[in-house]
Amino acid sequence: MNIMNFKAFFLSSSFLKIIFTVALFALILIAGISYRHTNAVAESGKWVIRTHEVQKELEQLLSQLRDAETGQRGYIITKDSVFLEPYNKAIAEYGKSFSSVKNLVANNNQQQINLNALSKLIQLRISILDSNLSTPYQINTSVLKQRMLRGKLVMDEIRLQIKVMDDLENKYLSNRKKNLEKESYLTPIFTLLLVFFSILIFLFSFLKINNDIGLLKKTNEELKINAETMSQAEEIGDFSNWQWNLATEKYIFSDNLYRFLGCEPQSFEANLENFLSFIHPDDRHLLIEGTEKVLNEGKTSTHIFRIIRKDGEIVYTKSVSKLLTDAIGKKIVIGITTNITKDYLHSQSLSEMNKELAESNAELSSFNYVASHDLQEPLRKIQTFISRIADNDLQNMSESGREYFIKIETATNRMRQLINDLLLFSKANKAESVFEETDLNILLENAKQELAQIIDEKNAIIHEVTLPTLQVIPFQIQQIFTNLISNSLKYSKPYVKPVIDITCALIDEKAAADIKLLTNKKYYKFTFKDNGLGFEQEYAEKIFVLFKRLHDSSAYPGTGIGLSICKKIIDNHSGFINTQSTLGKGATFTFYLPA
Amino acid sequence: MNKDHTKILLADDDEDDRMIFTDAFKEVKINTKVDVVKDGNELMDFLKEPENDLPDVLFLDLNMPCKSGVECLAEIKSDERLKDMAIVIYSTSASEKDIEDTFVKGANVYLQKPSDFGVLKKLLSEVIIMNWQYQTSGLNRDNFLLSL
């Protein structure tokens, strides 16, 4: 466990940070020590030079004094002024050497005291020399001899004093050397140790970094492969993924998400606003509510919404999102968005087919009801009356009357048989119709011709507009036109000239929303408005039910099938039909056909 | 049924059927008083008028304009005063759906209009002499549809 911990620590990035901090401090230490040592060496070098300069100047001083002495001696012996030349030169220059020494020992009290003593001795020596030269002929030999002796003594003292100073300088030099040696004794070992230590650390760091880079390379390779696999998988599986970092408010969209939107990968900034702009306006709230659910309840949220691609195509997508919190509390929402258009449209067409099936089943049973009830009703009555006549009046009839009566009875029985057979047939057979590109104006014209006689009789006026050419079952659409017009004419007001207004228009999205169209198809809206009797709006739905009638059969003969047929036809065309009316104020029939 | 005559009410929109019905009762040797109404609305108006005596047996056609027999049946069964009335469905249809529907909604007998006058007379007299006590208390799907 400990080894594991150490290994984990070794592999962690904080280990590298610690190593670099230690190495940095070691280097600063080395640099500091080296600087101090170099400074000390330079300082002592300076001191050595100074000592040598002091000794050199003192030597010079002594030599100048000796020159002066020699010159003076020669002059006294020869009386030749040529010997005064070195004397004069030495007298002129010794002051320079003296002030040099004075400058060099300015910081040293002991040497300054020594120098002051030397200065007095030199002054004394020079004054003796001067007095010897000023009166060389007046003084006698004994005086001269005395003076020369005194001069020699002073000169000896000068030599002694210079030696004292020289020795002192030598002593300083050796002390400093000793100090320097003592000081730099530890430095090289310490520096060496630090250098070794640093090398060790750098070696270690290098190994670690090298190791890390290797690992990084390997991880990078794997990551590349994973990313490529993911990208391929997204294309094959028609899905995409996205991330939302809550702390930084940064979004990441996968390439395929851009393709969903009909855009080049990474062609715009990944953010919520840009993404929302592609979502169908009616579906945006779904995404926003779903996101809130994820954020507030921490639940996985699934929702289906439509995307309007850049090229206007509508794509149905399913999005699943989830909130993730990592070890250091960073929150990220991740999501997968899948293109389910095919599935959606498939299920859509399936449910449409189911609807059709249910409708045709309902229709079939409605037809069964018709066959078993409405057609049989008059027939049953005929048979009932036949049975009454047969019971009571048959014997009173003539021979031929009885014969005909028997024939009627036989034919009636046959008719019942036919109806029963027809019912069986209808249960087994289902009509198939073919859709054709048809000019609806022609169909309307045909319908009007069909009804020409009654239109003429009623003096009816029909206002019409130009109709479109649509993919329809022609005879069925003509049937609608015929049924609606004849319906209006039949239920026209007595003594009022019937007027029928026919309109047709391609409806916009807003109007489509009014009739709750869920598909993105476009529709044509047709209206047939009359000025007839009308009916109460509460019957608006009932009148489309098979055999449903609002008037009794003696006043307005009819079967109650006409409008049911209209509804059936419109259903066949995936359209809608409804009606608005007020009793006594005419009726309007409206139907929608897909464009 | 211990009165001098049985009160019969027929609701049927078809004039011929009403005639056949009343003629049949004239020929049946049972003391009855037959009233007729022409559609569902008229029927409900008749039943809800407090001055009218409630019939002993109501014959109800199913397919009538504006208010169908089934609608009337539901309305009667939801009315506290009317709901115990004996109801005979009297229809041309013998479809399973209609029979099932009216049985569930509480009709007592389902009588399909026959195509023979003699048969009709027999069926009607059978309905009238029926033991209504038994018929109304223990509803039975098996003998709901009356036939000869």
Sheet of B6-11: strand order equals B32-37, B6-11, B57-60, B86-91, B109-112, B145-146
Q: Of A83 and B109, which is predicted with more confidence? A: B109
pLDDT at residue B2, as a whole number: 46
Please say whether the beta carbons of A485 and A446 come within 8 A: no
pLDDT at residue B1, as a whole number: 44
Instruction: Give the span between the Cα atoms of A196 and A27, in whole angstroms.
Output: 11
Interface test with A, best of B19, B62, B117 (most A CBs within 10 A): B117
Region of A495 (left: φ > 0; alpha: ψ -120 to 50; beta: rest) is left
Please say whether the beta carbons of B27 and B121 come within 8 A: yes
Residue A372 and residue B95: Cβ atoms within 8 Å? yes
pLDDT at residue B19, as a whole number: 93
Tell me the pLDDT tens digit for each residue of A17-63.
787 788 788 778 878 877 887 787 788 778 888 888 888 888 888 88
pLDDT at residue B65, as a whole number: 84
Residue A136: pLDDT band by 50, 70, 90 thresholds?
low
DSSP assignments along A101-161, one per residue: HHHHTTT-HHHHHHHHHHHHHHHHHHHHHHHHHHSTTTS-HHHHHHHHHHHHHHHHHHHHH
pLDDT at residue A561, as a whole number: 62
How confident is the model over A68-87, as a mean pLDDT? 80
Q: Residue A423 pLDDT > 70, yes or no?
A: no
Asked if A38 reaches chain B (Cβ–Cβ under 8 Å), the answer is: no
Region of A210 (left: φ > 0; alpha: ψ -120 to 50; beta: rest) is alpha
How confident is the model over A385-398, as a mean pLDDT? 90
Tell me the pLDDT tens digit for each residue of A323-348.
888 777 788 888 888 888 888 889 98
pLDDT at residue A429, as a whole number: 40
Provide CB contacts within 8 A for B11, sequence distance 6+. B36, B37, B38, B39, B40, B42, B43, B58, B59, B60, B61, B64, B69, B72
Q: Residue A544 pLDDT > 60, yes or no?
A: yes
Residue B117: pLDDT band by 50, 70, 90 thresholds?
very high
pLDDT, mean over chain A: 82
Under 8 Å CB pairs connecting chains A and B tally to 56
pLDDT at residue A518, as a whole number: 58
Instruction: Give the span between the Cα atoms of B95 and A427, in whole angstroms.
Output: 14
pLDDT at residue A24, as a whole number: 82
Lowest mean pLDDT across A85-94, A170-179, A277-286, B126-135: B126-135
Asked if A372 reaches chain B (Cβ–Cβ under 8 Å), the answer is: yes
Q: Residue A374 pLDDT > 80, yes or no?
A: no
Tell me the pLDDT tens digit for each residue of A477-527.
888 898 899 889 988 988 899 999 999 998 876 666 566 655 667 889 999
Q: Which residue of B has its CA nearest to A389?
A: B117
pLDDT at residue A12, as a whole number: 63
Q: Which of A376, A387, A552 sits opposite B92 (nearest CB)?
A: A376
Residue A431: pLDDT band by 50, 70, 90 thresholds?
low
CA angle (A561, A567, A573) in 5-degree steps: 135
Which residues of chain A does B114 touch, with a Cβ-Cβ cutoff of 8 Å?
380, 384
Lowest mean pLDDT across A67-71, A165-169, A527-531: A67-71
Q: Which residue of A has its CA nearest to B16?
A: A381
Percentage of residues in chain B having pLDDT higher than 70: 88
- Tokens encoding A133: 């030269």
Percentage of residues in chain A having pLDDT higher than 70: 87
* Closest chain B C-alpha to A388 CA, distance in angstroms: 6
Instruction: Give the span between the Cα atoms of A270 and A261, in whole angstroms.
Output: 12
Complex ipTM value: 0.82
> b/e string for A500-538 if b means 16 or more Cβ within 10 A?
bbbebeebeeeebeeeebeeeeebbbbbbbbbbbbbeee
Residue B117 and residue A549: Cβ atoms within 8 Å? no
Residue B115 and residue A384: Cβ atoms within 8 Å? yes
Q: Which of B20, B65, B94 sits opposite A552 (nearest CB)?
A: B65
Lowest mean pLDDT across A64-73, A367-376, B16-25: A367-376
